[in-house]
Amino acid sequence: DVKVTQSSRYLVKRTGEKVFLECVQDMDHENMFWYRQDPGLGLRLIYFSYDVKMKEKGDIPEGYSVSREKKERFSLILESASTNQTSMYLCASSSQGPRYEQYFGPGTRLTVT
Amino acid sequence: AQSVSQHNHHVILSEAASLELGCNYSYGGTVNLFWYVQYPGQHLQLLLKYFSGDPLVKGIKGFEAEFIKSKFSFNLRKPSVQWSDTAEYFCAVNAPGGGNKLTFGTGTQLKVEL
């Protein structure tokens, strides 16, 4: 079974802190994604990566950056956390090709105070 | 802007009732369509998908969806829901030229009452 793990289930940070969210997949997938999930807004794509060191902006990249140094690991970075970044963050991975499903991690509930 | 619409935000049904959740997308051309489900406290997981061929696709747990190209729709159905179907359901579209990116709808929260 594909497994996508995220470093924390719950995280509480203060405004202005630098926040790292880590995601690891064990299926040698080329693609990895970061979404945020908010009630009434569904999932919105922040960034995705289709190869090591490659990244593309999604629909809401402002305030975020990403890093992919190894194929299995994709990190989301909040350079200076703000209260409007309080959300559920979901990581996903998939094989290359638009017909492959995405496999999701359990999510990280981030609260910025 | 290209989008995916789920018109039913909250649905409450009794067990054994039939379910239909709407999904419409605004992309032209060939699309790949997905329904994902998120049970309480669990990961988002794939329910079913459509790429080509028979427009009626069957997924896990008795769910099915029909692709109607002329209506830009991909509605999810189940003839008889169970309490365990209580979950949030998301429609997603992989648009032409979008690579592996998915655009998700806003989700439908389904509650099935005993």
Task: For residue A38, give the chain B residue with the closest CA.
Answer: B106
**CATH architecture entry for B4-113:** Sandwich (2.60)
Instruction: Tell the CATH superfamily of the A4-112 domain.
Output: Immunoglobulins (2.60.40.10)
Chain B nearest-CA distance from A19, in A, is: 23
Residue A91, C-beta contacts closer than 8 angstroms, at least 6 positions apart: A4, A6, A21, A23, A25, A32, A33, A34, A35, A74, A76, A104, A105
**pLDDT, tens only, B34-65:** 999 999 999 999 999 998 899 999 999 999 99
Contacts of B99 in chain A (CB under 8 A): 50, 98
Q: Are B101 and B2 in contact (CB under 8 A)?
A: no
Say if the Cβ atoms of A100 and B100 lie within 8 Å: yes
Predicted confidence (pLDDT) at residue B25 exceeds the cutoff of 90: yes
- Residue to test with chain B: of A44, A94, A102, most B Cβ within 10 A: A102
Q: Average pLDDT in the A1-16 region?
A: 92
Task: Return the closest-CA partner of residue B85 out of B51, B35, B26.
Answer: B35
**What is the model's pLDDT at position B1?**
59
Return the domain boundaries, chain B.
4-113
**What is the model's pLDDT at position A99?**
81
**pLDDT, tens only, B95-106:** 766 678 899 999
Predicted confidence (pLDDT) at residue A92 exceeds the cutoff of 70: yes
